[in-house]
């Protein structure tokens, strides 16, 4: 089988909720839809995405650059192709836009592998679990009024989720403490509440707020500080008896390796698009397994549930409705669980009407 074409289409989808402009300056998700054509008529589909900036650069890396480098290769031999792409593109960096672009290609190649072998990913890799616990990030914005947030959170945990994630990191720490206190009181002792400050703190601020929210039992504290501050994560982890998690803004599996080796966090959170695709994501999971560490993947629930079921050390899946609502075959959720796809292919195709409506490159 040989690759005959690679296409990349840029979509710009509005975020339909109020987000904190300090953490999310542009309320748009840019999606680059990637399609690989082969000489055997099998098409692979995947996507990669950004939080508002850089979509044009990623599309340009995919077509013409990556397209030119992969034409004529066999997409079912994906790992050497991806490793070769990192090598050939190394002078423009091992992470960032390069990783996001390579991920789009890698995911579409795995879609082909799954289709050609006639097996879903869970059967291709072999599964440890039939399903995963799932929490919702849909109502987490620190810009929400807490009363409204509680009302929505109660509805979510009544329906399909084991818990919710809420954002902390308000300029006034008292507001953070009050927010989690109210949410814990409303949801009861058993419901999972994850807190996320989107890197808005430094280590001392994280420790200070962390000590005050300890009694409200956060399941873990996500991205308290920026990802380049590994020492800061070590300091927080050694000081607070709350599991610390990070990884969504790490663009190279070697960056996760450093966190894992130093036990700077309790949970690692690779995002399959930012880390460079399925091939690189699996490496992070294996590195974490070697340190007896759990993986709590970030976003992209429809694919992460398929991957999480195939590793022994997956913790929980995050569900955000923003992109999933535009997929042809969104994953199934029930009773706090999310179920992996059982048909060949990855199921990451967008609805034609979504592509038509949000296309930014016509
Ligand atoms: Mg986060």
Give 198 Cα–ligand 1 centroid separation in angstroms.
6
pLDDT tens by residue, 282-333: 999 999 999 999 999 999 999 999 999 999 999 999 999 889 999 999 999 9
Please give the helix or strand (H or E) that residue 332 lies within, else none. Answer: strand 332-334
pLDDT given at position 361: 75
Q: Residue 220 and residue 132: Cα distance in Å, rounded?
A: 17
What lies within 8 Å, CB to CB, of 185 at 6+ separation is none
Taking each helix axis from N to C end, the angle separating 230-239 and 203-213, rounded to the nearest 10 degrees, works out to: 30
User: Cα of 347 to ligand 1 centre, how many Å?
Assistant: 24
- Spatial CA neighbour of 6 closest among 29, 25, 33, 34: 34
Give the pairing type, strands 43-50 and 132-136: unpaired
DSSP code of residue 62: I
**How many A from CA of 51 to the centre of ligand 1?**
12
The single-letter DSSP state of residue 214 is G
pLDDT given for residue 362 in this prediction: 63
Q: How far is the CA of 297 from the centre of ligand 1 (A)?
A: 10
Distance between Cα 156 and ligand 1 center (Å) = 19
Say what the pLDDT of residue 21 is.
Answer: 84
Judge contact between 355 and 11, C-beta under 8 A.
yes
The CA 67 to ligand 1 mean position distance, Å, reads 32
**Cα 360 to averaged position of ligand 1 atoms, centre (Å):** 26
Rounded to the nearest whole angstrom, what is the distance from the C-alpha of residue 318 to the centroid of ligand 1? 10
Ligand 1 centroid, distance to 7 Cα (angstroms): 30
Q: Which domains does the chain have, with CATH numbers?
A: 3-118+350-358 (3.30.390.10), 123-339 (3.20.20.120)
Residues in the chain with pLDDT values less than 70: 362
Question: How confident is the model over 129-165, as pLDDT tens digits?
Answer: 999 999 999 988 999 999 999 999 999 999 899 999 9
92: tokens are: 């423009």
Q: In the prediction, which pLDDT does 310 show?
A: 98
Give distance in angstroms: CA of 249 to centre of ligand 1: 9
* pLDDT number for residue 24: 80
The CA distance from 227 to 221, in Å, is 14
The alpha carbon of 135 and the centre of ligand 1 are apart by a number of angstroms equal to: 13
Cα–ligand 1 centroid distance for 231 (angstroms)? 19
Of the candidates 252, 176, 257, the residue with the CA atom closest to the CA atom of residue 213: 176
**N residues, the chain:** 362
Pairwise CA distance, residues 12 & 21, whole Å: 18
Distance 224 CA to ligand 1 centre (A): 9
299 CA to middle of ligand 1, Å?
9
CA distance 166 to 155: 15
Q: Are 263 and 243 in contact (CB under 8 A)?
A: no
């Amino acid at each position: 089988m040989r690759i005959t074409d690679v296409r990349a289409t840029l979509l710009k989808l509005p975020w339909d909720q109020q987000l904190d402009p300090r953490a999310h300056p542009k309320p748009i998700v840019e999606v680059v839809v990637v399609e690989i054509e082969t000489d055997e008529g099998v098409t692979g589909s995947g996507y990669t995405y950004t939080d508002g900036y850089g979509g044009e650069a990623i599309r340009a890396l995919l077509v013409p650059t990556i397209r030119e480098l992969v034409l004529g290769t066999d997409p079912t031999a994906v790992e050497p192709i991806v490793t070769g792409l990192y090598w050939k593109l190394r002078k423009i960096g091992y992470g960032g836009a390069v990783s996001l672009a390579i991920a789009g290609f890698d995911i579409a190649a795995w879609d082909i592998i799954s289709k050609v072998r006639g097996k879903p990913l869970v059967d291709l890799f072999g599964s440890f679990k039939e399903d995963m616990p799932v929490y919702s990030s849909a109502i987490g914005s620190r810009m929400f009024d807490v009363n409204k947030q509680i009302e929505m959170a109660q509805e979510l945990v009544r329906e399909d989720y084991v818990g919710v994630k809420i954002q902390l990191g308000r300029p006034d720490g008292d507001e953070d403490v009050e927010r989690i206190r109210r949410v814990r009181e409303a949801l009861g002792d058993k419901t999972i509440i994850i807190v996320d400050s989107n890197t808005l703190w430094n280590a001392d601020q994280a420790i200070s707020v962390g000590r005050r929210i300890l009694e409200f039992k956060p399941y873990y504290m996500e991205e308290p500080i920026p990802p380049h501050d590994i020492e800061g994560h070590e300091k927080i982890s050694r000081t607070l008896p709350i599991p610390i998690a990070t990884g969504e803004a790490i663009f190279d599996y070697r960056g996760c390796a450093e966190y894992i080796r130093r036990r700077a966090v309790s949970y690692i959170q690779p995002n399959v698009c930012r880390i460079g695709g399925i091939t690189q994501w699996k490496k992070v999971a294996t590195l974490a397994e070697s340190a007896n560490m759990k993986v709590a993947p970030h976003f992209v629930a429809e694919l992460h549930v398929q991957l999480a079921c195939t590793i022994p050390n997956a913790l929980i899946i995050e569900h955000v409705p923003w992109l999933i609502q535009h997929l042809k075959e969104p994953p199934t959720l029930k009773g706090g669980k999310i179920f992996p796809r059982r048909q060949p292919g990855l199921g990451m195709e967008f609805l034609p009407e979504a592509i038509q409506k949000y296309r930014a490159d016509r």
